[in-house]
């Protein structure tokens, strides 16, 4: 089986050779037809160009929009519907506008959302919902962080806007932390994949320590988990000491 990196390289070459037509606006309009979109109060979306029009639509349609900042370094920004002038929405949904129009959320505030729908970009996608992204893993990590912080509804859908040329007929290789899509939208069709309850977790051992420290919400979760581990170790030591003293007394 080809590696994800090989597939990325082949896909980029294929798209460059075909000079892929970018019909992201049409796909964004297709998204608007879905009940899961219409009923969503809060939508998470990655900052990629492919989702630019979809992000604009979210705010224009009265939805709260949650976006990760650059490299998730500072965490997640909430753009509240009805608070941003219509003429400024196109800027607000970009990195340039996030700090001006959005509010960065502390970990403790994430659970107050929660997110109804997640939108991701895809470099390649298979017919089971298996996705290959840009290789940095920011979407999968964002999903795991939000789930760890109880920021996702149990039945939250995970959709990707993707070009027809990017859909593979072969099963794509997946890592244990990769999140599968529940659906995909192109300029021509809407695809539904078998729904499965995904409980992503943060694979701490797979993350370099310096990367954990660079991502604020991740670092706070890490320190919290370390305290819990240390607390359990202390409890075990205390229990052993109590048993040892009882044995001596007897």
Q: CATH number for the domain including 76?
A: 3.40.50.10420
Higher-confidence residue of 103 and 11: namely: 103
Same domain, 150 and 182: yes
Same domain, 56 and 72: yes
Strands (E), 162-227: 167-168, 183-185, 190-192
- Indicate the pLDDT class of residue 244, thresholds 50, 70 and 90: low
Mean pLDDT score, 38-57 = 97
Count of domains forming the chain: 2
Nearest to 176 by CA among 217, 146, 204, 149: 204
Same domain, 47 and 84: yes
Same domain, 161 and 139: yes
Q: Is the pLDDT of residue 241 over 80?
A: no
Q: Which residues span the domain enclosing 54?
A: 4-202
- Extract the tokens encoding 20: 């892929």
Which of the given ranges, 15-29, 171-185, 197-211, has the highest pLDDT on average?
171-185
- Extract the tokens encoding 127: 């017919």
Same domain, 227 and 124: no
Considering just the CA atoms, what is the radius of gyration of the chain in Å? Answer: 21
Same domain, 196 and 105: yes
Same domain, 35 and 128: yes
Same domain, 59 and 108: yes
Helix 24-32 × helix 52-60 angle, to 10°: 40
Same domain, 223 and 160: no
- Indicate the pLDDT class of residue 237, thresholds 50, 70 and 90: low
Same domain, 89 and 115: yes
Mean pLDDT score, 171-180 = 91
Residue 27: other Cβ atoms inside 10 A? 24
- Indicate the pLDDT class of residue 238, thresholds 50, 70 and 90: very low
Nearest to 159 by CA among 66, 46, 76: 46
Mean pLDDT score, 85-94 = 97
Same domain, 235 and 152: no
Least confident residue range of 6-15, 31-40, 148-157, 202-211: 6-15
- Indicate the pLDDT class of residue 234, thresholds 50, 70 and 90: very low
Same domain, 234 and 127: no
pLDDT, position 232: 46
Q: What is the pTM assigned to this prediction?
A: 0.86
């Amino acid at each position: 089986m080809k590696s994800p990196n090989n597939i990325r390289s082949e896909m980029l070459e294929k798209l460059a050779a075909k000079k892929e037509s970018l019909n992201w606006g049409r796909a964004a309009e297709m998204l608007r037809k879905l009940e899961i979109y219409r009923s969503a109060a809060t939508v998470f979306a990655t900052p990629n160009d492919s989702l630019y029009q979809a992000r604009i639509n979210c705010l224009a349609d009265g939805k709260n929009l949650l976006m990760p900042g650059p490299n998730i370094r500072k965490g997640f920004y909430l753009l509240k519907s009805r608070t941003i002038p219509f003429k400024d929405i196109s800027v607000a949904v970009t990195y340039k506008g996030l700090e001006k129009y959005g509010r960065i959320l502390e970990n403790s505030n994430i659970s107050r959302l929660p997110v109804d729908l997640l939108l991701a970009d895809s470099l390649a996608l298979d017919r089971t919902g298996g996705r290959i992204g840009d290789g940095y893993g920011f979407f999968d990590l964002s999903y795991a962080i939000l789930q760890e912080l109880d920021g996702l509804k149990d039945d939250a859908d995970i959709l990707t806007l993707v070009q027809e040329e990017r859909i593979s007929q072969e099963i794509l290789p997946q890592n244990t932390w990769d999140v599968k899509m529940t659906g995909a939208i192109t300029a021509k069709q809407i695809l539904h994949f078998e729904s499965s309850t995904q409980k992503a977790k943060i694979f701490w051992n797979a993350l370099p320590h310096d990367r954990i420290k660079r991502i604020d919400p991740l670092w706070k979760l890490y320190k919290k988990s370390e305290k819990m581990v240390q607390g359990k170790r202390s409890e075990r030591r205390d229990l052993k000491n109590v048993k040892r003293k009882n044995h001596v007394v007897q």
